C-alpha cells in the first residue's frame, strides 16, 4: 500500500495573500495521505489550516493550539505546527518547552493498523545545536514509549543540515549521550541532488536568511522525512520508493513559502520476520 507523506513550513500568511491558496493547490495536486506543517496561523487569528487542507482529502486535522498547554511566545508572529491526515489520528503525547516542543501522534493507516508520527518544532538559531540534540533524544524516547506496529514516521522542519550531530544521530551515523538509533532519511534513500529546502535561490528565503544568517549564498537541506528501520518493525516494512521536492518554483510569479516542501512515497507492506545478515 502506498502512503504519501509530506512536510512543508508554510511561513504563516506573511507577504503575498495568494500564497495560502497556492499552497492549497499544491497539496491538492500532490494528493498526500499525511502532511505535517509548520508556521500555520493560530486559529484565533485565522483558520489557515482549514484553508490549506480544503479539498485535499485530508479530513483529519490538528493544530498545536488544540493540544499544547501554553502558547509559544512566538506564536502570534510565526504560528504553529499542524498535522493533517487522510485517516483518523490522535495526539498521544507532547514534550513541551517554552519555545520548542514535539508532538507524538497515533495515525490509523487504512487496512494496515496504527503508525506513530512524530513531528518537532525546533530552534532555528545556528548556535542552538545543543537544544536540537536534546530534542532528537526526546524524539527517540517518544518512539521507544509509543511505537506502534507500523514503522514510525518522523517529519518536519529540523533547522539542521544532514552533517549536524542531531541529524546524524537520527540517521544512525553517530550516538548522542550514550544512545543510538537508526531511521531512514527519505531524501538520502530516494532523493536526487542536494535537496536544499532553505536557500537564497528562493527570494522569500533570501530575505529571512539575510536577517537570520547574514551571509550570501546560504543553502541547506533542513526539512526531513524519516522512516523507522526494519529491525524496530520486524513484521511490517515501509520501503521508500520516491522522495521529491515540491513548492520549489514560483507559481504565477509567486513563491509559495520561504521553505521548499519534501514528499516521500512509502510502500507499506506486511513482511515476514527476518534476521540480520
Q: Nearest to residue 187, comparing CAs of 170, 209, 204?
A: 170
> What whole-number distance in Å separates Cα of residue 13 and Cα of residue 39?
9
Cβ pair 154, 186 in contact under 8 A: no
Q: Nearest to residue 35, comparing CAs of 71, 94, 81, 90?
A: 81
> What whole-number distance in Å separates Cα of residue 14 and Cα of residue 54?
20
Q: Domains in the chain, please, with CATH?
A: 2-269 (3.60.10.10)
Q: Is 11 helix (H, G, I), strand (E, B) or coil?
A: coil
- Show Cβ contacts of residue 172 under 8 Å, excluding neighbours closer than 6 positions: 180, 181, 182, 183, 229
Q: Is 238 helix (H, G, I), strand (E, B) or coil?
A: strand
> What whole-number distance in Å separates Cα of residue 245 and Cα of residue 193?
11
Lowest mean pLDDT across 43-47, 149-153, 160-164: 43-47
pLDDT digits (tens, 9 = 90+) for 210-262: 988 899 899 999 999 999 986 667 678 899 999 999 999 999 999 999 999 99
Tell me the Cα Rg of the chain. 18
Q: Nearest to residue 198, comparing CAs of 184, 215, 186?
A: 215
> What whole-number distance in Å separates Cα of residue 136 and Cα of residue 102?
9
> What whole-number distance in Å separates Cα of residue 45 and Cα of residue 256?
20
Q: How confident is the model at residue 121 (pLDDT cuts 50, 70, 90)?
A: very high
Q: How confident is the model at residue 75 (pLDDT cuts 50, 70, 90)?
A: confident
Amino acid at each position: 500500500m502506498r502512503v504519501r507523506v509530506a512536510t512543508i513550513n508554510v511561513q504563516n500568511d506573511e507577504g503575498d495573500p495568494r500564497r495560502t491558496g497556492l499552497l492549497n493547490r499544491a497539496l491538492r495536486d500532490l494528493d498526500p495521505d499525511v502532511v505535517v506543517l509548520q508556521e500555520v496561523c493560530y486559529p484565533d487569528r485565522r483558520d489557515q489550516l482549514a484553508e490549506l487542507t480544503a479539498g485535499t482529502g485530508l479530513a483529519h486535522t490538528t493544530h498545536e493550539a488544540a493540544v499544547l498547554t501554553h502558547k509559544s511566545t512566538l506564536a502570534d508572529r510565526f504560528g504553529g505546527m499542524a498535522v493533517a491526515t487522510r485517516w483518523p489520528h490522535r495526539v498521544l503525547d507532547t514534550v513541551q518547552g517554552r519555545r520548542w516542543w514535539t508532538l507524538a501522534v497515533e495515525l490509523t493507516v487504512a487496512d494496515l493498523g496504527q503508525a506513530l508520527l512524530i513531528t518537532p518544532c525546533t530552534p532555528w538559531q545556528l548556535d542552538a545545536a545543543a537544544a536540537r540534540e536534546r530534542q532528537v533524544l526526546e524524539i527517540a524516547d517518544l518512539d521507544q514509549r509509543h511505537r506502534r506496529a507500523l514503522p514510525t514516521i518522523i517529519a518536519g522542519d529540523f533547522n539542521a543540515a544532514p552533517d549536524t550531530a542531531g541529524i546524524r544521530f537520527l540517521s544512525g551515523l553517530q550516538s548522542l549521550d550514550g544512545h543510538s538509533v537508526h531511521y531512514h532519511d527519505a531524501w538520502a534513500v530516494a532523493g536526487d541532488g542536494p535537496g536544499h529546502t532553505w536557500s537564497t535561490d528562493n527570494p522569500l528565503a533570501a530575505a529571512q536568511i539575510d536577517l537570520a544568517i547574514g551571509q550570501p549564498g546560504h543553502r541547506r537541506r533542513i526539512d526531513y522525512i524519516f522512516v523507522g528501520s526494519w529491525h524496530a518493525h520486524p513484521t511490517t516494512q515501509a520501503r521508500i520508493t520516491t522522495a521529491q521536492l515540491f513548492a520549489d518554483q514560483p507559481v504565477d510569479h509567486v513563491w509559495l513559502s520561504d521553505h521548499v516542501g519534501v514528499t516521500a512515497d512509502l510502500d507499506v507492506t506486511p513482511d515476514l520476520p527476518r534476521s540480520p545478515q
